[in-house]
A and B are shown apart, each in its own frame.
Chain A
Amino acid sequence: MDHLDALENESIYIFREAQRKFKDLAMLWSIGKDSTTLLWLARKAFFGKVPFPLVHIDTGFKHPMMIEYRDRMAKEWEVDLIVARNEEAIRSGASPEKGRFACCNALKTQGLQQLLDRRGFKGIFLGIRRDEEGSRAKERIFSPRDKNFEWNYKDQPPELWDQFNTSFRPDTHVRIHPLLSWTELDIWEYIRREEIPVCSLYLSKDGKRYRSLGCVPCNFPLASGASTVDEIIEELKVTKTPERAGRAQDHEAAYMMQKLRSLGYP
């Protein structure tokens, strides 16, 4: 079986398993290429109709082009979109100038936690991949979080033969990761094959493009002349720059991503 077909089937199997086992599911849609691919796979798994809502955690720092793309695609694909904001933190002026760790944690992690508390979601699909960074390489496909939202990465339950851990205590939730086995290059090759529309910030303008989409103050475009999906694929085959090089929160301090993620950051 072709490499992309194998990945696609693996992801679909995970989606269907989660849908069967959990009543209250939602999917995080960050508007980026990964979670948009994830959304595409969900449409495939459920024959075109996504049976759970999509959640966008809006920090208030997102690029207007991301918001425009989000609303356009949500309408075209007829998905149930929830936009969640940690209003209190936004009002009290949370921003990266006061510390990136605190800002990410308040606007993203707590924004998500508030939504889970309010809506009672038991399972959240996330488009993280093992090749993004070290702590994600150690993730399980079904990854339990305790009632404080924390990831106990030092003692994860075993997971084998596609028999996922799906019975959890009522005060916990599970993160479900259908894209763990995909690489950045796989994602782009799949986007090309399936002709999935992506946000235009990924395509080069004035010699720069975003390789990863985040908040405006902490995420920078990288020098690149790749202005089509084909050119992006060619670029990735030779580049030595890691994907998250333009993401300030990954580089601020040693193990910052591990610490953010142990508290519930995607």
Chain B
Amino acid sequence: MSGQDTLRIVIAGHVDHGKSTLIGRLFYDTGSLPEERYREIERTCREQGRPFEFAYLMDALEEEREHNITIDTAQTFFKTSLRPYIIIDAPGHKEFLKNMITGAAAADAAILLVDGAEGVREQTRRHAYMLSLLGLRQVVVAVNKLDLVGFRRDRFEEVEEEIRGFLLSVGIVPAHVVPISAREGDNIATSSERTAWYSGLTLLGALDSFFPTRDIAGLPLRFPVQDIYVGDGKRVYAGRVESGSLRAGSRAVFSPSGKKAVVRSVEKWKQPALPEAHAGECVGVTFTEELFVERGEVLSEEGEAPLAVREISASLFWLGNEPLRLSSRYVLKLATSEVEAVLSAITERIDSSTLEVTERHANRVENLEVANVTFTLLHPIAADTFKENPRLGRFVVEVGEFVAGGGIVREVRSDRPGGATRVVRLTAMMNTEPDGNFIDLSREAGPVEFEVSPGFVARLGEGEKVAIRLCTADQLERISRLAFGYGLGMTFRRGSEGNRVVLFREGPVSQAATEEGFPVI
């Protein structure tokens, strides 16, 4: 990865804790604030009879300056010697959570700001939870306004402990916790003498330690069809490679239709014969045979196709003014597919600020709440779990004209005879979440199938283990057959924490065994 790739940073946190001020200060301290902008802010503040407000760089709307509050998210640009940055300001007021999410969804990393005098507040927690739901794992905490508490180390440590504790409960371990004063510029771009007790990085230094996340290495090909252009006697399938790479000449399969095809060409304007295209590239594709597939179908390599999904279990945040209701119909948009779905279960309703489960088996989800839900789709679409592939593992819910919520896919069930079967995919990419190699089937009373990728077996061959918590004896039977078929070892234990199987392998895996393909057990 080159040091030149742009990094997108969102600044989140409770209202008035100093997010916009921090951005203004970051600009000022790195010499990125144009003189003219500085003078315009100075003039406005003078007219309003108040001291210089760095926040006005971002808070440009009249209403924002009048009430000294950020209403909508804004993006701005600056460069360090390392790389270009896009800085995304998010509003802290509860009412503008939809704008905060709009900003945060575009980010690679986040600064979570906490007022050192006030400590962790309602939106600090809610924003932290949202960052975690959006899949952001690169987080730096800035404890701000330390000038108000005399740069006291004990106060900083108190706040640090509180925020670390909360972040851990949403699966985030902050890369750094930095003591700052945004207004006065301590530890923003240069280390401050007023925090001599702190030897860590400045905020800018912390940002430079993060990575862009657009292209996740090692994921299989996913190319959702965006549109089909017919002309010059050919059909060109336009789309963006969401993950993996797409090669001319390769054998590929469309999901959910299952149609197979050989890629004839990968094209761009004036480049009709590219050898391949990588994640993030928008291209046109033609095939050796005429085929008719629609927008929403996803091209992948044979043996690595996403499931044709009929049921999705997800963690969802709700931004709609009207509640999300059980048994109602909604439109889900996932990559380029659009599907009608019935909300078939609301397993848990969660207060997004306290993380408290307020109700189980609920019949509605209110504005600002988070919930674990299940949608039954009216027709199958190609989808992955967020863990396997974030690009195909997230969706939005539309109500009327607008997006009213978003979700990340926890589990998918396909369309197999005998009811909805939960398909558990065992892949090499399993431990992308803090809970590591752990699969929980303890609430999965229905039929279960396992799909095993060669990478998974290879991974066990390197000494990794996978624990599976069970619900039924049928699951145990399937796992033992899987172990038998792939030459794996297993242990079974019945204990206070339920029934658990651990899968492992003694010795490395031969090349032949890893290329066997993807049998379903």
The listed residue (B34, B73, B394) touching A240 by CB distance below 8 A is: B34
Q: Is B238 an interface residue (CB 8 A)?
A: yes
Among B49-74, those with CB < 8 Å from A are 58, 60-63, 71-74
- CB pair B36–A131 under 8 Å, yes or no, is no
- CB pair B75–A9 under 8 Å, yes or no, is no
A34 to chain B, nearest CB (A): 15
- CB pair B101–A242 under 8 Å, yes or no, is no
- CB pair A159–B102 under 8 Å, yes or no, is yes
Interface code A60-86, partner B: CB below 8 Å = 1, 0 otherwise? 000000000000000000000000000
Binds A, one of B279-287, B375-383, B491-499: B279-287
Rounded to whole angstroms, the CA-CA distance of A167 and B396 in the bound complex is 14
Among A1-60, those with CB < 8 Å from B are 1-3, 5-6, 9, 12-13, 16-17, 19-20, 43-49
- CB pair B403–A160 under 8 Å, yes or no, is yes
Q: Is A153 an interface residue (CB 8 A)?
A: yes
Rounded to whole angstroms, the CA-CA distance of A167 and B269 in the bound complex is 29
Q: Is B127 an interface residue (CB 8 A)?
A: no
Closest to B60 in A: A134
Closest to A160 in B: B105
- CB pair B62–A138 under 8 Å, yes or no, is no
CB-CB < 8 A to A9: which residues of B?
240, 280-282
Interface code B425-452, partner A: CB below 8 Å = 1, 0 otherwise? 0000000000000000000000000000
- CB pair B238–A16 under 8 Å, yes or no, is yes
CB-CB < 8 A to B101: which residues of A?
158, 160
B92 to chain A, nearest CB (A): 15
- CB pair A138–B268 under 8 Å, yes or no, is no
Q: Is A105 an interface residue (CB 8 A)?
A: no
The listed residue (A20, A47, A167, A181) touching B401 by CB distance below 8 A is: A167
Rounded to whole angstroms, the CA-CA distance of A168 and B106 in the bound complex is 23
Closest to A20 in B: B227
- CB pair A133–B99 under 8 Å, yes or no, is no
Interface code B240-280, partner A: CB below 8 Å = 1, 0 otherwise? 10000000000000000000000000011110000000101
CB-CB < 8 A to B62: which residues of A?
254-255, 258
B208 to chain A, nearest CB (A): 16
Q: Is B222 an interface residue (CB 8 A)?
A: no
Rounded to whole angstroms, the CA-CA distance of A181 and B106 in the bound complex is 11
- CB pair A44–B401 under 8 Å, yes or no, is no
CB-CB < 8 A to A134: which residues of B?
60-61, 74
A18 to chain B, nearest CB (A): 10
- CB pair B102–A20 under 8 Å, yes or no, is no
- CB pair B35–A240 under 8 Å, yes or no, is yes
Q: Is B195 an interface residue (CB 8 A)?
A: no
Closest to A172 in B: B401
- CB pair B75–A157 under 8 Å, yes or no, is no
Q: Is A175 an interface residue (CB 8 A)?
A: no
Residues of B contacting A: mostly: mixed
Q: Among the interface residues A157, A159, A258, which one has the most CB atoms of the partner chain B within 10 A?
A: A159
- CB pair A3–B282 under 8 Å, yes or no, is no
Q: Is B319 an interface residue (CB 8 A)?
A: yes
Q: Is A154 an interface residue (CB 8 A)?
A: yes
The listed residue (B37, B238, B240, B395) touching A242 by CB distance below 8 A is: B37
- CB pair A1–B5 under 8 Å, yes or no, is yes
CB-CB < 8 A to B402: which residues of A?
157-158, 165
Rounded to whole angstroms, the CA-CA distance of A206 and B269 in the bound complex is 38
Rounded to whole angstroms, the CA-CA distance of A49 and B268 in the bound complex is 13
- CB pair A12–B282 under 8 Å, yes or no, is yes
Among B1-59, those with CB < 8 Å from A are 2, 4-6, 34-37, 44, 58
Tell whether A158 pairs with B84 under 8 Å between CB atoms, given A20-B295, A137-B58.
no
- CB pair B60–A135 under 8 Å, yes or no, is yes
- CB pair A242–B36 under 8 Å, yes or no, is yes
- CB pair A138–B73 under 8 Å, yes or no, is yes
Q: Is B229 an interface residue (CB 8 A)?
A: yes
The listed residue (A19, A144, A160, A168) touching B102 by CB distance below 8 A is: A160
Rounded to whole angstroms, the CA-CA distance of A169 and B280 in the bound complex is 32
Q: Is B398 an interface residue (CB 8 A)?
A: yes
CB-CB < 8 A to A181: which residues of B?
75, 86
Interface code B78-119, partner A: CB below 8 Å = 1, 0 otherwise? 000000101000000000001101100110000000000000
CB-CB < 8 A to A157: which residues of B?
98, 401-403
- CB pair B403–A158 under 8 Å, yes or no, is yes
Q: Is A148 an interface residue (CB 8 A)?
A: no
A46 to chain B, nearest CB (A): 7
Tell whether A161 pairs with B240 under 8 Å between CB atoms, given A2-B4, A9-B282.
no
Rounded to whole angstroms, the CA-CA distance of A174 and B403 in the bound complex is 15
Tell whether A130 pairs with B401 under 8 Å between CB atoms, given A16-B238, A16-B282.
no
- CB pair A6–B77 under 8 Å, yes or no, is no
Q: Is A183 an interface residue (CB 8 A)?
A: yes
Tell whether A17 pairs with B269 under 8 Å between CB atoms, given A137-B58, A242-B34.
no
Rounded to whole angstroms, the CA-CA distance of A190 and B231 in the bound complex is 29
Selected A-B contacts with CB under 8 Å, 30 pairs:
A5-B281, A6-B6, A9-B240, A12-B282, A13-B282, A16-B227, A16-B238, A45-B282, A47-B236, A47-B267, A131-B77, A133-B60, A134-B61, A138-B72, A140-B102, A154-B63, A156-B102, A157-B402, A158-B402, A159-B403, A160-B101, A161-B105, A161-B406, A163-B396, A167-B401, A169-B401, A240-B34, A240-B36, A241-B34, A255-B62
| Given A138-B72, A158-B406, A161-B406, 11 additional A-B pairs, CB 8 A | A1-B280, A6-B5, A6-B6, A13-B226, A13-B240, A43-B269, A45-B269, A138-B73, A163-B395, A165-B401, A258-B61
Question: 9 tightest CB-CB pairs across the interface, nearest first?
Answer: A134-B60, A160-B105, A157-B402, A137-B74, A158-B98, A12-B282, A163-B396, A255-B62, A44-B269
